[in-house]
Amino acid sequence: ARPGGMAAAAFERRVLRRAAEHHYLRVRLELPDGGARPNAAQFKQIVVSALRELHGEVGAALPVDVLTYEEKTLSAILRVISSGLVKLWSALTLLGFYQNRRCAFRVLQTSPFLLALSGNSRELVLD
C-alpha cells in the first residue's frame, strides 16, 4: 500500500531467507533402565559422541552448545549453527546406546528463535 499523498516515496519489502545464524532444539533424553542420570558434561559428551559416530570428526567438531540442562527430567536446550542442524538432528535420532544402556532422544521443539521455545502449544491446557 502506498503511503498516501507522497508520490516520491516508494514501497520496499525485504525478505530474509535463512537469515538466522543458530537453531535451537529442546530435546529430552529417555533412559528407560532407570540407572544413574548423566550430568551436564556427560550429556554434552553423549551429543558429541552421537555426532562423531554418524558424521565423523567433522561432525564432532560442529559447534553445539547445551544452553540449559535439567538432570531430573533429562531435558535440555541445544544450540547449533544453522548449517549443522540436519547433521545434529540426524545424529540424535540415530543414537541407540549410551554406555551399553538403551536410550533415545526425543526432539520436542525446534526454532531459529530461542524465544519461541518458551511456549509449547502441544502442552497447552485449556481450562
Partner 1 sequence: PALFRRYVLCEVVSEDPRCRQCIEDRALGLAVRDAIARVHGDYGLACCSISFTVKYLNAYTGTVLLRCRKDSYRLLCSALPFVRYLESRAQRYPCFLNTLHVGGTIRTCQKFLIQYNRTQLLLLLQNCTNEEERQCVQKSLLSCSLTEEQSQSGDEEEDDGTE
Q: Are 68 and 52 in contact (CB under 8 A)?
A: no
Q: Does 58 bind partner 1 (CB under 8 A)?
A: yes
Among 53, 66, 107, 110, binds partner 1 (CB under 8 A): 53
Q: Does 49 bind partner 1 (CB under 8 A)?
A: no
Q: Does 57 bind partner 1 (CB under 8 A)?
A: yes
Comparing CB distances to partner 1, the nearer of 52 and 79 is 52
Residues 76-95 that bind partner 1 (CB under 8 A): 90
Alpha helices in the chain (DSSP H): 40-60, 85-93
Half-sphere exposure of 60 (CA within 13 A, CB side): 9
Q: How far is the CB of 86 from partner 1 (least distance, A)?
A: 10
Q: Does 59 bind partner 1 (CB under 8 A)?
A: yes
Among 37, 56, 70, 82, binds partner 1 (CB under 8 A): 56
Q: For the beta carbon of residue 24, count every other beta carbon within 10 angstroms.
A: 21
The rounded Cα 111 to chain-centroid distance in angstroms is 7
Q: b/e string for 50-63 if b means 16 or more Cβ within 10 A? A: bbbebbeeebbebe
Contact footprint for partner 1 (CB under 8 A): 51-59, 90
